[in-house]
């Protein structure tokens, strides 16, 4: 399956673009092909250094959005923790979480065919290592 995701906001593969009044955002990219699978990548900014909280699937209680840490990666002066359990928009994703400038950032990829757990781990690690800091314009 080709992977045409290009990361262009507003482009053909851009699914969600959500921004909240507190400075958080979710940008999602997805490619699906009948019979072969999908590639789904999310980028989040949470406007706090605390672990983000999501609604539990089985109750109305708020629980950590990410759990079961599985190691860290150092990339571009960033130390990110890999989480193997993710909730809400990142459910069934492998997620890297890191903090910078008073915010928490996440990049995640859905574990789904045609990619195995290990392939998705390699993919999302490659994405993390390729990210560059873009400072907002004044």
- CATH for 109: 3.40.1000
For residue 5, being part of any structural domain is answered with no
Token readout for 14 is: 């851009």
For residue 109, being part of any structural domain is answered with yes
Residue 18: the pLDDT is: 60
Please tell me the total count of domains within the chain. 1
For residue 1, being part of any structural domain is answered with no
Phi, psi (5° rounding) for residue 123? -60, -50
For residue 46, being part of any structural domain is answered with yes
Which of 7-16, 50-59, 82-91 is predicted least confidently?
A: 7-16
Tokens 């989040």: give the residue.
44
For residue 47, being part of any structural domain is answered with yes
Name which residue leads in pLDDT, 114 or 136.
114
For 14-41, the pLDDT digits (tens) are 565 566 777 788 888 777 666 777 788 8
Scored b (16 or more CB within 10 A) or e, 79-94 reads: ebebbbbbbbbbeebb
For 45-57, the pLDDT digits (tens) are 899 999 999 888 8
What range defines the domain where residue 103 resides? 14-130
CB 35 within 8 A of CB 85: no
């Amino acid at each position: 399956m080709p992977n045409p995701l290009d990361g262009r906001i507003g482009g053909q593969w851009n699914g969600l673009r959500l921004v909240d009044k507190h400075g958080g955002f979710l940008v999602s990219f997805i490619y699906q092909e009948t019979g072969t699978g999908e590639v789904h990548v999310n980028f989040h900014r949470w406007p706090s250094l605390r672990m983000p909280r999501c609604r539990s699937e089985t109750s109305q209680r708020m629980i950590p959005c990410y759990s079961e840490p599985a190691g860290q990666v150092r990339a571009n002066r960033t130390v990110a923790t890999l989480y193997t359990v993710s909730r809400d928009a990142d459910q069934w994703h492998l997620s890297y979480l890191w903090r910078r400038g008073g915010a928490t950032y996440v990049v995640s990829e859905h574990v789904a065919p045609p990619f195995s757990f290990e392939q998705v781990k390699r993919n999302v690690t490659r994405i993390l290592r390729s990210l560059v800091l873009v400072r907002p314009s004044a």
